[in-house]
Each structure stands twice: as C-alpha cells, then as structure tokens.
Amino acid sequence: MRHKPAMRHRPVMAAIGLALLLGACAGGPPRPGASQAVGLPHGASPACLDSDARMIRAQLFFGLSRPDGRPPVTAADFDGFVDQTVSPAFPDGFTIIETTGGWRDTETGQTIREAGRSLILLADGPAPALRQRLDTLRRDYMTRFDQQAVGLALDTACVSF
C-alpha cells in the first residue's frame, strides 16, 4: 500500500459504516435515555426480554497497515497491545475478530483493502467512563502504531449469559 509521507493510515471505513448501519436498524421501543447515553439516534435501542440485561456494545476497528510502506502491525505487536492496554482496561472480557476491510483513498480514488482486527466488548455502568476508557485505547493504538484513527461504533444490546 502506497502512502505519501504526510498521510497517515486510515481506518477500515467500510466496516465502520456497516456497523453503524446495523446499529441504527435495531428495532423495538427505546428505553428512556438509553439511546442518548451512548450517542445513538432516538429509537435505536433493541427490544429486550425481561430476562436480558441492557448493556452498551462497543466495537473498535483497528487497521494493521502502516504508512509509507512500513511492515504492517504483526500478530505479536497486536497481542502485546491487547495484553498491555486492552486486558487491564477491560478485565471482564472482550472478543477479537480478524477482519479484512477497505477504504477509499481520497487522493487516488482507489479502494484500498487491508487486514485488521475488530474488538467487541459489552459493558454496563456510566457511559462517560466507558467512553473515556475506549478513547484511551484508541489513542494508545494510534500512537503506538502510527495510525490516523481507530474506528468506534457504540450501540445498546440485549445481553444474557
């Protein structure tokens, strides 16, 4: 993947758009204040059964390519990030999925495909505190791996274990 020196890596935009679209299409009556707690459009909360817990679902999108043709973020690099940053911030658990996505280079108009990782987690508690922990993860990844952005999609979910 060719980058100009001043240009930094872009996130996997297609995956972000799909996640936002799916979150916005969830049906059911909203719980008062639920959509606004995570910044969703009014009415975007899913319908839950009485036995379900309503939680915030966060999905982060990490690209693995680096600018200027440098080697991509390796599995060992990403595992180190997870061990040092993600696990301490979210000790209750999370899921990581290997992804492939694409984004349109605004300078060339070409769609660029790249490998990535998506991290999904469920959380309850105050949304501002969760957002702060998520933003800390995003900043750390961007700094550590020279990324322009890490995508984030938030919605509410009906959860049972």
SS3 (DSSP) at 57: strand
In a domain, 112, yes or no: yes
For residue 118, report the phi and psi dihedrals to the nearest 5 degrees: -120, 130
How far apart, in whole angstroms, are the C-alpha atoms of residue 141 and residue 95?
A: 17
Count of all residues that appear for the chain in the document: 161
Query: Residue 74 sits in a domain of what CATH number?
Result: 3.30.70.120
In a domain, 78, yes or no: yes
How far apart, in whole angstroms, are the C-alpha atoms of residue 156 and residue 150?
A: 20
What is the residue range of 139's domain? 13-20+52-159
In a domain, 34, yes or no: no
pTM given for the model: 0.70
The more confidently predicted of residues 111 and 9 is: 111
In a domain, 33, yes or no: no
In a domain, 35, yes or no: no
In a domain, 79, yes or no: yes
Q: How many domains does the chain have?
A: 1
In a domain, 131, yes or no: yes
* Mean predicted confidence (pLDDT) in 9-14: 38
Going by pLDDT thresholds of 50, 70 and 90, the confidence category of residue 102 is confident
In a domain, 43, yes or no: no
* Mean predicted confidence (pLDDT) in 49-56: 92
